[in-house]
Amino acid sequence: MRYETPASAKEAAGLLKKEKGAAFLLAGGTDLLVKLKMGIVEPDLVVDIKRIPKISDIQSSAKGFTIGAAVSGAELGEHAGLKKAWPGVVEAANLIGSDQIQGRATLPGNLCNASPAADSVPALIAAGAKAVVVGPLKKRTVPVEKVMIGPGKTSLAKGELIEAITLPKAEPRSGDAYLRFTPRTEMDIAVVGIAISLKLERGVIKKARVVLGAVAPTAIVVAAAARAIVGSKLDDKALDKLAAACSAACNPIDDKRGTIEYRVRVAGVLAKRAAKIAFQRAGGSL
Amino acid sequence: MAHDNSYVDKKFNVVGTRFNRPDGIDKVTGKARYGADASAPGQLVGKVLRSPHAHAQILKINTSKAEKLQGVKSIITFEDLPDLTGADQGMADILENCMARGRALYDGHAVAAVAAVDEQTAAKALKLIDVKYKKLPHVTDVDEAMLPTAPIIHDRIFTRGVEPKPTKPSNISSRTEMGNGDIEAGFAEADIIVEHSFKTEQTHQGYIEPHACLASVNPDGTAELWVTTQGHFVFRNVCAGLLGLDIAKLKVTSSEIGGGFGGKTHVWVEPVALALSRKANRPVKMVMSRDEVFRATGPTSSTSIDVKLGAKKNGRITAAIAELRYQGGAFPGNWAMLGCMTAFACYDIKNNKSIGWDVLVNRPKVTAYRAPSAPMAAFAVESAMDILAKELGMKAIDVRLKNVAREGTLAPYGPTYGPIGIEDTLKAVKAHPHMRAKLKPNQGRGVACGFWFNIGGQTSTDLNIGVDGTVNLAVGTVDVGGSRSSLAMIAAEELGIDYEDVKANIADTTSLGHNDMTEGSRGTFSSGMATIYAAREAIEVLKQRAAQTWGIPVEDVAWEAGHAVATGKGHGNLPKLSLREIAAKSGRTGGPIAGHNEVTADGAGMGFASHICDVEVDPETGRSTIVRYTVVQDAGKAINPDYVEGQFQGGATQGIGWALNEEYIYGDDGRLQNPGFLDYRIPVCSDLPFIDTKILEIPNPNHPYGVRGVGETSIVPPLAAVANAIANATGVRMGHAPMSPPRVLAALDALDAG
Ligand SMILES: Cc1cc2nc3c(=O)[nH]c(=O)nc-3n(C[C@H](O)[C@H](O)[C@H](O)COP(=O)(O)OP(=O)(O)OC[C@H]3O[C@@H](n4cnc5c(N)ncnc54)[C@H](O)[C@@H]3O)c2cc1C
């Protein structure tokens, strides 16, 4: 196994592209190293991105935020501006693992590990985040929901990697929230995850995005759930419709972490709770 | 010298105070050497190939490809562990569990093992071993295994304890029945009868340190084993028996131990490591992975239990019956029998009966887990007590007090109780401020009791006094929970010196007589007794040396507060001699000063506890959060209260984990689906409130200091305490543990549906 520390994203892409054997990008390593130790992956090449200049920076501008691919969960949690603009994204990222994991885990790592239960992914999608994808030859920007295409699978081509995640500027009177259900308080994998981002106009929901995690092969954008609350002040009727739409959108599996029935049910319960938090964060009063 | 084990009420100087443990610095700085921390020149790495099937015939094991791999030094199968167990079926079971003999009996059963120069080579070699299996039908559920249609796991097993003797083999290895009085008459007398059925899932001890050892066998039959264990003397005897070694030639050293809770009372890879070393003629180190620990080392039983109680309107129970079914994995155990013995032990019930069924399934061989079998029986009985209280319209605690066992009560399993603490714990609970604290919406409070026997057994201890007056205490019971500190305190107390002047060590098997395991909460009870006696022997020597120095008869010398004092007529003006002064001259007064003791410690004091639990249940997700928890337990005498409280808290925590989320999940294919800490959900720190404790001290009359065991009882009440709290919070009676969110939500739905 070879280990490389390229000086640019483009160089990293070139190394990945050239490798004939199994090549893996290494960010925080909290997924990759676990799989390596368990013998699930046997890389010929590991490309560590952490030495790339600026890859660990969070930049804010008039357009929003650009979060480098090696920024850890802990660093996200310490960024006051980001927390104020996208509290749901930050709380989702900060739910990953434990203090130790937080010191390492990254957003692109969470996304490219491509687990249906990844915590930050629904929140990123709800927030309208984009991935800046660098290949050996060209760079492209894709919405986060286009990256994961199935359990363990991404749409990235061989040699492509994510250099940064961008978040738009948060609109006035908008708010987002992420909630997950786990039997334990931490060190657990989401049985259901839900992210809601919404914008108010005169106390009424004008726009919304509702995204479910852990209840289908990938995170899913539930348009019907967003429709259920748009135009409402999040009254009980709207909340019930939201819950029903979320439950209806679930396509989960029965496994050791939760039954189909349970996941479907709890998706609706959490949807209501997350909507209320996002609503209040947007300045709405219940 | 004969010693008296009777309790003597006296004022203590050292005992009952709080000291740091002598192993503390090593543990917090990472210097402590655990099972995986030993190495030897030329050592190999051993790894085990395990069955991927729940039940399969092993048609052929072809190791030839693996043998040719560079770096592979030995490969063993059952053929390298010939059966030397004779008529001892228990030992034969241990052997077969260590290495499958023709059949894989559960997912994870060892089939072959490799020793190679490094881990990668060993792992590669395992992949090159070709095993031909023929899958057989399997059964993993305790109730299903009892059905006549269930696949039979051992056709040599015919149910014991039933008449007439069965003619067909069965997965039921034995039936046990015990109790007192006339059960039918008791129910006939009752005004109210309640009945309920319960199920508990299989849980693992979950110690953080996996099993690990370093084994080295020489061609002349001498051997050494460094190992994480709860009892190195027992491991020595078992391993010597399985491998045909002489007991005296196998030296076993116990490492520091990162938790055991019963799981390290049993050998798993140790005989395999010895066999690999014998074949390779090199030391072999083995460290189990977490996956292996879950799949192939002793979890506790899953159970199915029915309880029926009958009572008078005034709350007096007239009859109690329980039928308990415990699976012991793929080998017979006596787990249901222990369930029977403990089920009604907290109560004085004239007519009681317990029927136990020990059952085999295709799961790993069950071993002890902290008060083995008692938590499940208590879950059923203590839940039923609350159901009864509700029917009677009485407070749950009052029904318990109305029926509580006392000194003189005939225990369901035979003996008549001496002084016991269950009534005191209940009264302390009743008076505790926790019982009056206000509950918030969706919260409920539950109370439950628990019992554990505690045991004594064989112990041997050596105490050597150095020329500077400091003392080495060598004990043979492994220190799992801080016993080195407690035993050093006991030695200091007896000798009348400072705690800091005593260093307790765990001696290897060549340095002391046999010691039974650290199990049954016996460590401080039995080694404490042997330490008291060893110290008293040493005091006799010290007195002789003083008498010799003074030139007076030894009868005229007394030992007071660390000094020899002349007491006889006419010696009044002799200045007293300190232990330090006598020790300094020992080279000239007859040589080293020591005391030692070998004893079978009888008269262990029973342990009783009552717990209070507050839980908050999320009515929409079924998730339960423990918001407050209090343990009240009788310790007899708390030698070092810090570690007694630690035991109370640890046991309660494990019980809460079992109550809420911990469980083995098997697929339809009979394979374990969650062999790791991510999906086998032990509580993490943030899941629990501070566990409050209250130590009661009702002296055990059969120990000089009144010590009872304290290590196990605390895991017994929590399952029912949580269930009773959930019932009081929600109105649903959870009969299936763990009471995980999906189970609680389903029960809430069923309640709503009426
Ligand atoms: C104890 C523990 C607890 C955990 N708890 C949670 C949890 O609660 N919630 C949760 O969602 N996850 C959890 N995880 C999983 C993991 O921590 C997260 O998925 C984390 O975000 C991964 O980030 P990383 O930087 O460590 O990824 P890495 O391990 O470095 O990479 C993960 C995968 O993504 C690829 N990759 C990484 N960066 C890029 C990039 N920039 N471009 C393209 N591909 C890339 C890697 O090649 C690899 O295949 C847990 C893991 C552990 C060990």
Whether residue B131 sits in one domain with residue B74 = yes
Task: Give the angle B695-B699-B700 at the CA atoms, nearest 5°.
Answer: 120
Task: Tell whether B742 is within 8 A of chain A (Cβ).
Answer: yes
Strand order in the sheet with B130-135: B103-104, B56-62, B130-135
Is there a domain that residue B543 lies in?
yes
Q: Over 80: is that where the pLDDT of B572 sits? A: no
Q: How many CA atoms lie within 13 A of B681 on its CB side?
A: 23
Whether residue B692 sits in one domain with residue B632 = yes
Q: What pLDDT is stored for residue A24 in this prediction?
A: 97
Residue B713 corresponds to which amino acid? Answer: T
Whether residue B692 sits in one domain with residue B596 = no
Tokens of B580: 């330090």
Whose tokens are 């996304």? That residue is A111
Whose tokens are 């008791």? That residue is B186
Q: Over 80: is that where the pLDDT of B1 sits? A: no
Whether residue B286 sits in one domain with residue B373 = no
Q: What is the mean pLDDT of residues B269-274?
A: 98
Task: Tell whether B740 is within 8 A of chain A (Cβ).
Answer: yes
Q: What pLDDT is stored for residue B569 in this prediction?
A: 80
Whether residue B463 sits in one domain with residue B445 = no
How many domains in chain B? 3
Whose tokens are 């693996």? That residue is B66
| DSSP-based three-state secondary structure for B508 | coil
| DSSP-based three-state secondary structure for B626 | strand
Pick from B210, B303, B76: nearest CA to B675: B210
Task: Give the angle B210-B213-B219 at the CA atoms, nearest 5°.
Answer: 160
Closest residue in chain A to residue B678, using alpha carbons only: A188
Is there a domain that residue B268 lies in?
yes
Domain ends where: B601, B621, B655?
Answer: B601
Range of the domain at B435: 303-454+605-753
Is there a domain that residue B409 lies in?
yes
Percent of chain B with pLDDT over 90: 98
How far apart are alpha carbons B608 and B425 in whole angstroms? 8
Q: Over 90: is that where the pLDDT of B2 sits? A: no
How near does any CA of chain B get to the CA of A182, in Å? 9
Q: What share of chain B is helix, strand, coil (3-state, %, to 5)?
A: 30, 25, 45
Is there a domain that residue B141 lies in?
no
Q: How many CA atoms lie within 13 A of A229 on its CB side?
A: 33
- A159 alpha carbon to ligand 1 midpoint, in Å? 19
Pick from B222, B226, B197, B195: nearest CA to B211: B226
Whether residue B473 sits in one domain with residue B383 = no
List chain B residues with CB under 8 Å of A181: 621, 623, 741
How far apart are alpha carbons A162 and A114 in whole angstroms? 13
| Three-state SS annotation for chain A | CEEECCCCHHHHHHHHHHCCCCEEEECCCCCHHHHHHCCCCCCCEEEECCCCCCCCCEEEECCEEEEECCCEHHHHHCCHHHHHHCHHHHHHHHCCCCHHHHCCCEHHHHHHCCCCCCCHHHHHHHCCCEEEEECCCCEEEEEHHHCEEECCEECCCCCCEEEEEEEECCCCCEEEEEEEECCCCCCCCCCEEEEEEEEEECCEEEEEEEEEECCCCCCEECHHHHHHHCCCCCCHHHHHHHHHHHHHHCCCCCECCECHHHHHHHHHHHHHHHHHHHHHHCCCCC
Are B495 and B563 in contact, with CB atoms under 8 Å apart?
no
Q: Which of A184, A257, A266 lies nearest to residue B683, judging by beta carbons?
A: A184
To 10 degrees, what angle do helices B483-495 and B528-550 make? 30
Q: Which of A72-76, B1-5, B533-537 has the lowest mean pLDDT?
A: B1-5
Whether residue B573 sits in one domain with residue B633 = no
pLDDT in tens, B608-626: 999 999 999 999 999 999 9
Q: Over 80: is that where the pLDDT of B702 sits? A: yes
Number of neighbours of residue A149 by Cβ within 10 angstroms = 14
Whether residue B419 sits in one domain with residue B283 = no
pLDDT in tens, A146-190: 999 999 999 999 999 999 999 999 999 999 999 999 999 999 999
pLDDT in tens, B298-320: 899 999 999 999 999 999 999 99
Is there a domain that residue B288 lies in?
yes
Q: What is the mean pLDDT of residues B63-73?
A: 98
List chain A residues with CB under 8 Å of B660: 183
How near does any CA of chain B get to the CA of A220, in Å? 21
Number of neighbours of residue B692 by Cβ within 10 angstroms = 18
Strand order in the sheet with B557-560: B557-560, B563-566, B577-578
Q: Over 90: is that where the pLDDT of A255 sits? A: no
Q: What is the mean pLDDT of residues B411-428?
A: 97
**Chain centroid, CA A141 distance in Å:** 16
Task: Tell whether B679 is within 8 A of chain A (Cβ).
Answer: yes
Distances (CA, A) of B40 to A47, B283, B284: 36, 7, 9
Domain ends where: B546, B574, B601?
Answer: B601
How far apart are alpha carbons A212 and A274 in whole angstroms? 11
Q: What is the mean pLDDT of residues B682-707?
A: 97
DSSP character at residue B526:
I
Are B751 and B731 in contact, with CB atoms under 8 Å apart?
yes
Segment (H or E) for B441: none
DSSP letters for B230-296? S-HHHHHHHHHHHHT--GGGEEEEE---S--TTTTSS-SSHHHHHHHHHHHTS-EEEE--HHHHHHH
pLDDT in tens, B446-464: 999 999 999 999 999 999 9
Is there a domain that residue B203 lies in?
no
User: Which pTM was predicted?
Assistant: 0.97
The dihedrals phi and psi of A173, each to the nearest 5 degrees, come to: 55, 40
Tokens of B72: 């592979």
- Scan residues 103-162 of A and list those with Cβ closer than 8 Å to B: none
Contacts (Cβ under 8 Å, ≥6 apart) of B621: A181, A266, A269, B741, B745
The complex scores an ipTM of 0.94
Distances (CA, A) of B198 to B94, B151, B715: 30, 24, 18
pLDDT in tens, B472-486: 999 999 999 999 999
Q: What is the mean pLDDT of residues B729-743?
A: 98
Is there a domain that residue B195 lies in?
no
Percent of chain B with pLDDT over 70: 100
Mean pLDDT score of chain A:
96
| CATH code, A2-49+58-168 | 3.30.465.10
CATH number (domain holding residue B509): 3.30.365.10
Mean pLDDT score of chain B:
97
| pLDDT band, residue B162 (cuts 50/70/90) | very high
Q: What pLDDT is stored for residue A39 in this prediction?
A: 83
The dihedrals phi and psi of B736, each to the nearest 5 degrees, come to: -130, 115
Task: Tell whether B687 is within 8 A of chain A (Cβ).
Answer: yes
Q: What is the mean pLDDT of residues B59-84?
A: 98
Task: Tell whether A53 is within 8 A of chain B (Cβ).
Answer: no
Whether residue B423 sits in one domain with residue B532 = no
Number of neighbours of residue A231 by Cβ within 10 angstroms = 11
Q: What pLDDT is stored for residue B611 in this prediction?
A: 98
Is there a domain that residue B165 lies in?
no
| pLDDT band, residue B21 (cuts 50/70/90) | confident
Q: Is B182 exposed, middle or buried (0-12, 13-18, 19+ CB in 10 A)?
A: middle
Whether residue B610 sits in one domain with residue B546 = no
Q: What pLDDT is stored for residue B529 in this prediction?
A: 97
Sign of CA dihedral A174, A179, A185, A187: negative
Find the residues whose C-beta lies inside 6 A of ligand 1: A 24-32, 34, 69, 95-97, 101, 104-106, 108-110, 112-113, 118-119, 161-162, 187
Contact B687 A184 (CB under 8 A): yes
Contacts (Cβ under 8 Å, ≥6 apart) of B96: B78, B105, B331
Sign of CA dihedral B108, B111, B112, B113: positive
Domain residue spans of chain A? 2-49+58-168, 178-281
Contacts (Cβ under 8 Å, ≥6 apart) of B101: B78, B83, B95
Segment (H or E) for B594: strand B593-601
pLDDT in tens, A65-119: 999 999 999 999 999 999 999 999 999 999 999 999 999 999 999 999 999 999 9
CATH ID of A178-281, from 3.20.20.10, 3.30.390.50, 3.40.630.30, 3.30.300.20:
3.30.390.50
Q: What pLDDT is stored for residue A258 in this prediction?
A: 85
Percent of chain A with pLDDT over 70: 100
How far apart are alpha carbons B317 and A240 in whole angstroms? 49
Q: Over 90: is that where the pLDDT of B573 sits? A: no
| pLDDT band, residue A254 (cuts 50/70/90) | confident
